[in-house]
Structure 1
Amino acid sequence: MTMRDRSGREKWADLWEDMSYRVVAEDRVDDVVLRTVWEGIDDVPSAMFFIGVCRDGGTFDTVSSADTEAEARLRHQHAAELLRALSSKAEMLRRVREGMTESSTPSP
């Protein structure tokens, strides 16, 4: 197994413990954390970078992976946009529900 740094050099062991190096991107949407990290495994397809989500401080679940940092950043950005869209929809539905329960039924 070949371990490589984010630029493709074989310097993996020195950098793997450094989370500030490993985290490529991170976004928070409500109680969900989206994080893209460098893993540096070159022998497995799409195992250099992983994109994962975690809710309420739980375990990160991998949602995508990538071979290059550029591809990982694009996938992260797309996942963040999806999370924001879902969050907006959930907030809209929550507000409608609150409005329906707080107000009386309008007269015809």
Structure 2
Amino acid sequence: MTYTLIVVPFVLVTAAATVATVRRPEFGRRMIRSAVAALVLIALTAVFDNVMIAVGLFTYPEEHLSGIRVGLAPIEDFAYPLCAAFLVPAVATLVERRPER
């Protein structure tokens, strides 16, 4: 199994949860905040994954990777912070109590 296939369920759950919040208040603002958070998390991932791989803390078997890298870090590693930036606010929005009308 490749890391790309492992990432697919996370991306699908994130997309579904995010789409489920489209009609909730402040959707646009939440998406902007999630995008900013995603950019920060992706930048941190790029820096720290490259450092950890460079010093030999871990390696990836080449046969499980897509082959696309950002420095030493495989592109698949960037899906997790991207999903976290959108999934966490979406889930928080879905579980928060709505004001009664």
**TM-score (normalised: structure 1):** 0.33
**TM-score (normalised: structure 2):** 0.35
**Structure that is richer in strand per residue:** 1
Structure exhibiting the larger radius of gyration computed from Cα positions? 1
**Structure that is richer in helix per residue:** 2
